[in-house]
Every structure is written in C-alpha cells, then in structure tokens.
Amino acid sequence: MALSEWVSEHYEEKGPVKWLAFFLECVTAVMLFGLMLLTCADVIGRYFLGNSIDGAVEITEIAMAVIVFAEMPVITWRGGHVVVDLLDSYLGSRVVKALGLLSALLISGAFYALAGWMMYLAERSISRNVVTEYLQLPVGYIVQYISVMSYLCAVTMITYGMYRIIKEKS
C-alpha cells in the first residue's frame, strides 16, 4: 500500500490539511518515541550505571512543548477540544449554534493573542541570546515554534471550526 493511499484511508481531512495533519502527527510520534528512549536511557544510566543523562529534563521539557503544540492545530481542526454541553438540551439549536460561533471567535482570538505575545517573547529571547541552563539551547526558537503553532490554531479555529458549526445539522 502506498503512503498516499494509507494517509487517505486513515485521515478524514481533505487536500493539504490531510498532509499537514499527517506531518504534525509524525512529528509528535517521533518526539514521543524519542522521549521514551531518553527516559529509558536516563533510568538505566541513573540506577545501573550511577550516572544520568545531562540535560534530560531540558530535553523532556522541549519535547513536551513540541508534542503539545504540534497536536493543537490537528485537534482544533478536528474539533477535538473538550466541550461541556450541559445546557444544550435546554437551549434551542439556534442559541447553541450562536454560542458555538461565539466560542470559536473567542478561542481563535485567544490563540491569536497568545501567538502574538509568544512571538514578542521569542524575538526578545533571540535578541538577548537566552539559552537553556545546561545544554545552552536557544530558547527563542522554541518559543517561536509555539507562536507559529498558536497562529495555526487560530487560523484553523476561525476557518474550519466555524465552518463545522455553521454546517452542523440543527
């Protein structure tokens, strides 16, 4: 089976979004596998060899940021965020749809504001040459990645998130 057939079979998204979701989930899978290997090596080194891996905590923190912010656009696109619908059965379908549109606007605005603030912090970190404590990795590029992914979340929420709400059956 060719890769394109496999992706088409396992991803419901259409067009380039399907490949973006596949790429971001591959990044997440590779980082998660790397975290597993790092944790195993660190535990073996710590308990059997008497020496842990230097900077393992920093690598774990960075990998967790990559994992979380790589999956956020995919989850946003798929509408996979936690939704509390306690009042939906009491409110009319138009009110629920209007509240859904309002929440999509608020969420995309929050992602956009977060992304703008993070981009400012990234630029400031890069200009000041801020690095991590042990491995001396530049912090600004990690924060820039978080910012770009947050912008992507804002775009996915405002486009497809609202499209889903509008097209939803009443």
Q: 66-75, 86-95, 139-148: which has the minimum mean pLDDT?
A: 86-95
Percentage of the chain modeled with pLDDT above 70: 98
- Looking at residue 76, its pLDDT comes to 84
Phi-psi region of 55 (alpha: psi -120 to 50; beta: other; left: phi over 0): left
Cα–Cα separations (whole angstroms), residue 36 to 39, 65, 142: 5, 15, 21
In this predicted model, which residue has the larger pLDDT, 144 or 82? 144
Q: What is the pLDDT of residue 26?
A: 94
Q: What local confidence, expressed as pLDDT, does residue 59 receive?
A: 94
Residue 19 predicted with pLDDT over 80: yes
The domain containing residue 62 runs over which residues? 3-167
Distance (Å, rounded) from C-alpha 162 to C-alpha 105?
A: 8
Global pTM?
0.83
The answer to whether residues 126 and 138 touch, using CB atoms and an 8 Å cutoff, is: yes
Confidence check: pLDDT of 170 > 60: no
User: How many C-beta neighbours within 10 Å does residue 131 have?
Assistant: 13
CB atoms within 10 A of CB 157: 25
Q: To which residue do tokens 């990690």 refer? A: 142
Mean pLDDT of 14-33: 91
- What is the count of structural domains for the chain? 1
Average pLDDT, stretch 103-130?
93
Burial (0-12, 13-18, 19+ Cβ within 10 Å), 156: buried
